[in-house]
Amino acid sequence: MSLTMSGLDCHRTPLALREQLAFSGEGLRRALDHLRDQPGVTGCVLLSTCNRTELYLTGDSETPWRLLCRVAGVSEEQLRPYFETRTGLDAARHLTEVACGLHSQILGEDQIITQVRTALDAALEARTADPVLAALFRHAVTAGKRAKTQVSVTRDAPSLGGQCRDVLRRELGTLDGKRVLVIGNGQMGRLAAETLRAAGAQVSVTLRTYRHGETVVPAGCGTVPYEDRIAALEGMDAVISATTSPHYTLTKQQLETVVRRPSIAVDLAVPRDIEPACAALLTCYDTDALGAAGPGSPEEKSALEKIAWEELERFHQWLRRQTAAERPLRFPIFLDLSGKKVVLVGGGAIAARRIGVLRQFGCEITVIAPTLSCRADDLTWLARPYCEGDLEGAALAIAATNDRSVNRRVGEDAKALGIPVSVADCEAECSFYFPAICVGDGLVAGVVSEGKDHHRTARAAKAIRKVLEELP
Active-site residues: which are they? 50
d(C-alpha 178, C-alpha 450), whole Å: 61
**Amino acid occupying residue 351:** A
Check: CB of residue 236 under 8 Å from CB of residue 262: yes
Pure H helices in 37-186 = 64-72, 76-79, 88-99, 111-125, 131-150, 160-172
Among 312, 318, 330, 349, smallest CA distance to 452 is for: 330
Output DSSP code: residue 237: S
d(C-alpha 351, C-alpha 401), whole Å: 7
Check: CB of residue 142 under 8 Å from CB of residue 118: no
b/e per residue, 137-162, with b = 16+ CB within 10 A? bbbbbbbbbbbbeebebebebbbbbb
Phi and psi based region of residue 117 (left: phi greater than 0; alpha: psi -120 to 50; beta: remaining): alpha
d(C-alpha 42, C-alpha 59), whole Å: 5
Q: What 3 state SS string does 21-33 have?
A: HCCCHHHHHHHHH
Output DSSP code: residue 211: -
- How many C-beta atoms surround the C-beta of residue 440 within 10 A? 15
